[in-house]
Structure 1
C-alpha cells in the first residue's frame, strides 16, 4: 500500500512542541533564564534574546521528530474512554475498543476512513483478530463476555463467558490459542477452532498487559495488585515464577524485545520505563517516562521504544545495549493513552478520545527516518 502526506500540516501543528535530545536545550535555556533573574541580570539578552531562543528551541520543525503525524481518521460520534486496538493485516482494517461508547470501531486503513461501528457491547477493553478462522474477538469488562464476530461484515458468531472483567486479548498462532486476561487472576485459554474456553492459567491478581514469547513458550504477565511480573509456562498452563518490583507500582503496559531478550514495562507510580532481563528478571535499566501510560511498543527496525500516555504525550526512547535514552516527547491529547504499532505498515496508531477541540480519531504517525 502507499501512504500520502495529507497530514503533513497537522504534523507541524501538533508535533512541533517536542523535546530534542530529551529536552536538553529547553532545560538548559530555561535554567539560564532562571539564573538571569536570580542574579538580577536584566540585560537585553535576558529580556529579549533569551525568550526568542526559548521559542526557537521549543518549536523545532516537525521533520526533526522521530514520529511524523500523517493524518487523523475520525471515528464518528464516539464518547468516553478508548481502550486497546488490533489489526487485520490482510484487509488493512483496524479495530478500536471504544469502551466508554460500548462499541468497536472498524477503520479502513488503506482508505483512511471509518468503515463501520459494532454496537451493543458492554465496555469493550480488548480486541484481537484471529486470521486462521477469520474471527474478531472482543473482550468486555462490563459483563465478562467475549463476543465473536466473523471477519468481513462482522456479524455475531458466538460468545464465551469468562465471568468478570474480560480485558487484554493476545493471539498465539504458534500454539493455535487465544489468551484473554480476566477476573481476579487468570488468563483464559481459548481454542479458536472450536471457539471455546479450554483452560485457565491462574495468577495472583487481575492480569494487565501481558506478552507471549513464542521462542521459549513463556508468557510474561503484569500483575500490579500482586506487585510483580508473573512468568507463565504456556505448555503446562501454570505460573512458574514471579519477578518482584519493589519501589514501583501500577505496572500496566508491557512489550518484549526478542533480540535483546528483554521485557519492557511502564510503571505509573513513579512514571518510569523499566527494562528487565528475560532470563531471571533482573531490572537492568530505568528511564523517566510520561504519565498514565497504557501501551508501549518496540520498533525493532529502528531500535526505539514508543510509549503512549494519558498525560497527553508520546515518549520515544532510543535503545543502545542496556541503556534507554528519551529522544522525544511529542504532544497528543489528554487521555490518549492507547496505541498500536503495526510494523508491517510501518505506522504507529494512537487512539484519541473526543475532546473540546475535536472529535475522537485515530492519529496515524509515520516513524522517521
Structure 2
C-alpha cells in the first residue's frame, strides 16, 4: 500500500499490478519479477523495491513511471521486507538463506547481511533501532540492531509453531506473532516474555495492527479475519469476520484504515512432483479479486 499516492501493489507470481484506489482501475504493471513476494514503495525517494523469490534479487522501480530501474542481489528466496525509519535502511528477509540483506535506499547499495539462524518470514521495526523478525522453522523471534546488525535476543513463541505474520503495538510494547498452529502469540517487546495466546483461523499468513482501535487483525487462508482486542496488557479477546478462501495476504491503508486482501477461485491441485511434493490448488483463470474491508 502506498497511502500517499492511493495505490495498491498486487503480486502475481512474475509481475506486479498497480491499482489506483480512487478509481479502482489498474494503472500499470511492473514485469519480470519472478517469484515476487514483497513490495515496498518509498514515496519520499520516489522508488520502491520488489523481492523476487526465484531470482534471489530485489527489483528497484520508479513509483511514477512504474518501470524497473535495476536490481540488487539478495540471499536465497527473498520474501518479506521493510524500511526502518530509525536507520533509514531497507531490510530484506531471505527465507531460504536464513538471513537479512541490508540496503541503503539512498545509494541503492547492499551494505550488509545479518545471519538469522533460521528461516525468516515477516519483520517489524520499533522505530528505536530494533528489528524483530519471525523465524518460521525455529519457532522464534530474533531481535537485531538496525545499525550494528548484531543479533541481540532470540525469543521462543511457544506454544506457537511456524510463525509467519508479525505486528507491533508500539504504544504498549506488544508483538503479535501469528502461527501455523492456529495461535497468535502476544509477547512483551521489551523482554520477550509471552504474555498471552489467542486462537486464530487456519492457514494464516499476515497480520496488521490498527493504531486507532489498538487491535491486531490476522488474515487466515480458511476464509476469515481474526480481530484481536486487548482488555488489559495480558488479557485479549477475539472476534471473527468472514473473508474468502485463500485470502492470506493483508495490508492496511493507514489513512482510511481500510484493509486489503487478495485471492481467487481455486480448482484441484496438480499432481505432485519431486520438485513440488505438496502442490497448491490451481487458480481458476479470470477469478483474481481484491477484498476491501472497512468499518
TM-score (norm 2): 0.89
Rounded to whole Å, the distance in 2 between the matches of 1:163 and 1:315 is 33
Residue aligning to 2:210: 299
Q: Does 1:179 align with 2:83?
A: no
1:43-85 Cα distance to aligned partner (Å, 9 max, x none): xxxxxxxxxxxxxxxxxxxxxxxxxxxxxxxxxxxxxxxxxxx
Q: Shift of the alpha carbon at 1:230?
A: 0.5
Structural mapping, 1:78-89, within 5 Å: 87-89=1-3
| Larger fraction in helix | 1
Residue aligning to 2:9: 95
Q: Shift of the alpha carbon at 1:256?
A: 0.1
What SS does the corresponding residue of 2:180 show, helix, strand or coil?
strand
User: How has the CA–CA distance of structure 1 residues 267 and 230 changed in structure 2, closer, same or farther, with 3 Å as cutoff?
Assistant: same
Rounded to whole Å, the distance in 2 between the matches of 1:344 and 1:251 is 28
Residue aligning to 1:227: 139
Q: Shift of the alpha carbon at 1:227?
A: 2.5
Q: Does 1:339 align with 2:247?
A: no
Q: Shift of the alpha carbon at 1:354?
A: 4.0
Unaligned runs of 5+ in 2: 268-283
Residue aligning to 2:65: 153
1:122-156 Cα distance to aligned partner (Å, 9 max, x none): 01001101123211211011111101111112121
1:223-280 Cα distance to aligned partner (Å, 9 max, x none): 12122110111121011111123333101110000111111111112x0111001111
Q: Does 1:193 align with 2:121?
A: no
State the number of aligned residues.
276
Q: Does 1:363 align with 2:291?
A: yes
When the two chains are superposed, the root-mean-square deviation of aligned CA atoms in Å is 1.6
Larger Rg belongs to:
1
Which stretch shows the higher mean deviation, 239-248 or 156-165? 239-248
Q: Shift of the alpha carbon at 1:96?
A: 1.4
Residues 221, 247 of structure 2: 8 Å contact kept? yes
Q: Does 1:205 align with 2:133?
A: no
What SS does the corresponding residue of 1:209 show, helix, strand or coil?
strand
Rounded to whole Å, the distance in 1 between the matches of 2:265 and 2:64 is 27
Rounded to whole Å, the distance in 2 between the matches of 1:120 and 1:162 is 16
Q: Does 1:256 align with 2:168?
A: yes
Which stretch shows the higher mean deviation, 318-327 or 347-356? 347-356
Unaligned runs of 5+ in 1: 1-86
User: How has the CA–CA distance of structure 1 residues 135 and 105 changed in structure 2, closer, same or farther, with 3 Å as cutoff?
Assistant: same
Residue aligning to 1:137: 49
Residue aligning to 2:260: 349
Rounded to whole Å, the distance in 2 between the matches of 1:315 and 1:254 is 14
Rounded to whole Å, the distance in 1 between the matches of 2:117 and 2:89 is 22
* 1:247 paired residue among 159, 172, 193: 159
Q: Shift of the alpha carbon at 1:355?
A: 4.0
What SS does the corresponding residue of 2:121 show, helix, strand or coil?
coil
What SS does the corresponding residue of 2:137 show, helix, strand or coil?
helix
Q: Which has the higher contact order (CA 8 A, sep 6+)?
A: 1
Rounded to whole Å, the distance in 2 between the matches of 1:275 and 1:179 is 23
Rounded to whole Å, the distance in 2 between the matches of 1:132 and 1:343 is 16
What SS does the corresponding residue of 2:54 show, helix, strand or coil?
coil
TM-score (norm 1): 0.72
Rounded to whole Å, the distance in 1 between the matches of 2:160 and 2:184 is 10
Residues 167, 216 of structure 2: 8 Å contact kept? no
Residue aligning to 1:75: none
| Larger fraction in strand | 2
